[in-house]
Structures are given as structure tokens and as C-alpha cells.
Amino acid sequence: MAKTYTEEEKARRVTHFRRVVKYRGLFGWVFGIVGVVLFFFGVKNGQNPMIMINGALFAGYGAFMVWQAKKVARTLDRG
């Protein structure tokens, strides 16, 4: 049984979701920057492979978060 929401509840939920998407994009940039810094720190300090792998994974996940947030924001703006 689907719950029906009033227009005010719908607007409040959409506003909250937009805020979540905005912060997901922001934290994606933070993760990406931290990942790049970690990667270059691993390269600079004796080719440490674990730090380099962690940096690459952080950067990749950050890029994914930003991509996902932009995709959802475009969908929200259309509809």
C-alpha cells in the first residue's frame, strides 16, 4: 500500500533530497582531491603501492560521487 503525501510533504522531501545531492557532490570533490593528494604522496615517498592504491580508489570514488550527483541534479531540474 503506497503512502500518499500532501503537497507540502512532497516539497519538503524534494528539498531535503536536493540538499543531500548537493552535499554528495561536495564530498565527492573532497574525496577526489584527497585521493589525488594521497596518490602523489605515495609516488613521491618511495613508490609506496598501498598509499597509491588508496589514493586511486579515493579519487575514483570521488569522481563517481560527483558524476552521480550531477546526473541526479539534472534529473531533478527536468522534472
* pLDDT tens by residue, 15-63: 999 999 999 999 999 999 999 999 999 888 877 889 899 999 999 999 9
Rounded (10°) angle between helices 49-78 and 7-44: 160
Work out the pLDDT band at 79, boundaries 50, 70, 90.
Answer: low
Q: Kind and range of the H or E element at 27?
A: helix 7-44
pLDDT at 5: 86
pLDDT at 46: 76
pTM above 0.75, yes or no: yes
Nine cell digits for residue 59? 579519487
